[in-house]
């Protein structure tokens, strides 16, 4: 799937946290904002200090418990070629068939370094990672289920296919925004308007409901409640004028 957004747009998306991007996405999507797009199970960001990551999904399925997969010749090279040829920046989305057990990690110092060289900025895996300090040093962000000690019989099983991680199906090439809050997989039809919508809704909050809540000193209860109601109405009106939807407030 070809890259659709410019590098400039992707860098701007990366400046905002994932909840901010969600707030923009809900205004432009026809999908269910209570069920679609985001992870449905708890995730853990092991490098929150790196901030958000944005990229296009490259997908792979693993089964570390099954030694038979390692008997297939040429698998690792074919998988790496797939990653190398995909448009970047890339987020490697890994489905671990062993879950909820976690027996071995696809990720460590070497594999994260290899994928960084192939244009990947990080991973979302419903399995485990290891070599946490070394992965952090490489600059390869990881959102995962947990840590583990070994790699077991890990090798790519299938790749370039839909995968399910944390209750969400991810398609190859899908745009993903992720940080310590979780991840949002953007439907392709929503990509073009995503940045503008996210910036608008953030500015809308900053102009209405946030100052109304923070400028409360010295107000009576009745005056404060009126101020909050008026700010919420202004927020809704701005969102409705722009998108035809009222937004969160």
Q: What is the CATH number of the domain that holds 29?
A: 3.50.30.40
Considering the domain architecture, whether residues 127 and 239 belong to the same structural domain is answered as no
User: Does residue 109 belong to any structural domain of this protein?
Assistant: yes
User: Does residue 125 belong to any structural domain of this protein?
Assistant: yes
pLDDT for 47-61, tens place per residue? 999 999 999 999 999
d(CA 64, CA 152): 5
Sign (positive or negative) of CA dihedral 153, 165, 130, 55: positive
Contacts of 49 (CB under 8 A, 6+ apart): none
Considering the domain architecture, whether residues 140 and 230 belong to the same structural domain is answered as no
Ramachandran class of 223: left when φ > 0, alpha when ψ lies in -120 to 50, beta otherwise: alpha
Considering the domain architecture, whether residues 105 and 215 belong to the same structural domain is answered as no
Considering the domain architecture, whether residues 236 and 151 belong to the same structural domain is answered as no
Considering the domain architecture, whether residues 182 and 223 belong to the same structural domain is answered as no
Say what the pLDDT of residue 248 is: 84
d(CA 110, CA 125): 17
Total structural domains in the chain? 2
Considering the domain architecture, whether residues 68 and 143 belong to the same structural domain is answered as yes
CB 165 within 8 A of CB 40: no
Residue 246 pLDDT level (bands cut at 50, 70, 90)? confident
The pTM for the full model equals 0.94
Considering the domain architecture, whether residues 231 and 117 belong to the same structural domain is answered as no
For 27, the domain range is 7-189
Say what the pLDDT of residue 186 is: 97
Considering the domain architecture, whether residues 105 and 173 belong to the same structural domain is answered as yes
Last residue of a domain, one of 146, 162, 189: 189
The tokens describing 9, both together, are: 């747009």
Say what the pLDDT of residue 70 is: 84
Residue 71 has pLDDT above 90, yes or no: no
Considering the domain architecture, whether residues 110 and 15 belong to the same structural domain is answered as yes
User: Does residue 198 belong to any structural domain of this protein?
Assistant: no
The tokens describing 149, both together, are: 């000690």
User: Does residue 195 belong to any structural domain of this protein?
Assistant: no
Considering the domain architecture, whether residues 183 and 222 belong to the same structural domain is answered as no
C-alpha 49, offset from chain centre? 15
pLDDT for 186-232, tens place per residue? 999 999 999 999 999 999 999 999 999 999 999 999 999 999 999 99
Residue 4 has pLDDT above 90, yes or no: no
| 176 beta partners | 55, 185
- Over residues 63-71, the mean pLDDT reads 92
Q: What percent of the chain has pLDDT over 90?
A: 92
Give per-residue burial for 224-241: e unless 16+ CB within 10 Å, then b.
beebbeebbebbbebbee
User: Does residue 218 belong to any structural domain of this protein?
Assistant: yes
pLDDT for 84-120, tens place per residue? 999 999 999 999 999 988 999 999 999 999 999 999 9
CB 168 within 8 A of CB 39: yes
Considering the domain architecture, whether residues 94 and 216 belong to the same structural domain is answered as no
Residue with tokens 């409705």: 240
DSSP code for 211 = H
Considering the domain architecture, whether residues 33 and 135 belong to the same structural domain is answered as yes
Say what the pLDDT of residue 198 is: 97
Residue 2 has pLDDT above 60, yes or no: no
């Amino acid at each position: 799937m070809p890259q659709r957004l410019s590098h400039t747009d992707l860098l701007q998306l990366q400046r905002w946290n994932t909840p901010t991007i969600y707030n923009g996405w809900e205004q432009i999507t026809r999908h269910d904002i209570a069920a679609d797009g985001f992870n449905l199970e708890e995730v853990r960001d092991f490098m929150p200090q790196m901030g958000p990551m944005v990229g296009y999904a490259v997908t792979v399925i693993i089964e570390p418990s099954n030694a038979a997969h390692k008997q297939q010749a040429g698998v690792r090279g074919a998988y790496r070629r797939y990653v190398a040829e995909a448009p970047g920046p890339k987020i490697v989305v890994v489905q671990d068939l062993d879950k909820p057990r976690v027996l071995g990690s696809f990720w460590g110092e070497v594999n994260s370094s290899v994928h960084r060289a192939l244009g990947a900025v990080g991973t979302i895996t419903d399995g485990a990672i290891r070599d946490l300090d070394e992965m952090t040093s490489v600059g390869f962000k990881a959102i995962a289920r947990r840590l583990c000690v070994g790699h077991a019989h890990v090798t790519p099983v299938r790749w370039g296919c839909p995968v399910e991680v944390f209750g969400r199906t991810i398609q190859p090439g899908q745009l993903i925004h992720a940080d310590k809050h979780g991840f949002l997989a953007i439907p392709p039809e929503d990509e073009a308007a995503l940045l503008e919508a996210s910036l608008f809704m953030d500015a809308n909050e900053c102009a209405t409901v946030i100052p109304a809540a923070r400028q409360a000193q010295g107000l009576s209860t009745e005056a404060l409640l009126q101020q909050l109601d008026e700010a919420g109405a202004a927020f809704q009106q701005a969102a409705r004028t722009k998108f035809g939807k009222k937004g969160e407030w």
